Amino acid sequence: MAKTDAGVSIRNVAKSFGTVEVLNDISLGIDSGEFIVFLGASGSGKSTLLRMIAGLETVSGGEIWIGGRRVDQLAPGQRDVSMVFQSYALYPHMSVRENLAFGLVNVGTPKAEIATRVATAARMLEMDHLLDRKPAQLSGGQRQRVAIGRAIVREPKVFLFDEPLSNLDAGLRTRTRFELSQLHDRLGATMVFVTHDQIEAMTLATRIVLLNKGRIEQVGAPMDIYARPSTRYVAQFVGSPP
């Protein structure tokens, strides 16, 4: 399912809310197929940056490119991205199958095509046996998988996750994290994942982008950042040995 060019290019992007600047001159290239993690403390600007890629927030300056196409002035539906929301965003009155199909029905995808994509996603997430259940009949982890499945059926170039595991208990969080890694291997898609949890970042990322107060502190592979933090802030945040 990997698309040839699913890279993301963020060029001198800034964001202000009123007179308050929350992101300052962010430039970052994300390669096709990478698992990029935006890591940072609460309020560092992770969600805002992700939402600008999704088109849920306008940019105050700069450009965003996806798959070689400038997208920062396009509507969310035109960007070839899917955001994975937390599992409580499922429709309680619909079955898993209907929840998975819903976004496609909405945009007029032919019925047979919807059925194929739902079946493929269900197989990939190992939830064929759950398709006729309602969300209330699922565990927290199963619900989160349905939320991920809703993004998969749209076959986007880029998957966007905003702290999707933070509502799960510790054991389930570890398991779902592992499943996400496997899913990334299977799909070969570009994934951008936001978290404030450095362990989550270390285990999932091909590269970590560490944000601090609306600026990029460091970009690098998890072990690089851990072993060679560029600032004291980074060292403290990821718990590097002194």
User: Footprint of ligand ADP on this chain (CB under 6 A)?
Assistant: 17, 22, 40, 42-48
Position 195 contacts Mg ion (CB under 5 A): no
CB of 44 to Mg ion, least distance (A): 8
Partner whose footprint covers residue 19, from ligand ADP, Mg ion, none (CB < 5 to 8 Å by kind): none
Binding piece for Mg ion, criterion CB under 5 A, among 44-52, 101-109, 112-120, 123-131: 44-52
Residue 34 is given by DSSP the state -
CB of 46 to Mg ion, least distance (A): 5
Please say which residue, 46 or 143, places its beta carbon nearer to Mg ion. Answer: 46
Q: Which of 44, 47, 87, 176 binds Mg ion (CB under 5 A)?
A: 47
Partner whose footprint covers residue 222, from ligand ADP, Mg ion, none (CB < 5 to 8 Å by kind): none
Q: CA 13, CA 10: separation in Å to the nearest integer?
A: 6
Taking the alpha carbons at both ends of the chain, their separation in whole angstroms is 43
Please say which residue, 22 or 152, places its beta carbon nearer to Mg ion. Answer: 22
Partner whose footprint covers residue 87, from Mg ion, ligand ADP, none (CB < 5 to 8 Å by kind): none
Partner whose footprint covers residue 190, from ligand ADP, Mg ion, none (CB < 5 to 8 Å by kind): none
Q: CA 146, CA 84: separation in Å to the nearest integer?
A: 10
Please say which residue, 47 or 190, places its beta carbon nearer to Mg ion. Answer: 47
Asked whether the CA dihedral 213, 218, 219, 222 is positive or negative, the reply is: negative
CB of 57 to ligand ADP, least distance (A): 8
Asked whether the CA dihedral 174, 179, 185, 190 is positive or negative, the reply is: negative
Q: Which residue has the tokens 């592992």?
A: 178
Please say which residue, 121 or 216, places its beta carbon nearer to ligand ADP. Answer: 216
Q: Where are the beta strands (DSSP E) in the chain?
A: 8-17, 20-30, 35-40, 61-66, 69-70, 81-84, 158-162, 190-195, 207-212, 215-220
User: Any idea how long the chain is?
Assistant: 242
CA distances from 71 to 8, 9, 47, 67, 80 (A): 10, 10, 18, 9, 9
Please say which residue, 46 or 150, places its beta carbon nearer to ligand ADP. Answer: 46
User: Rule CB under 5 A: which residues touch Mg ion?
Assistant: 47
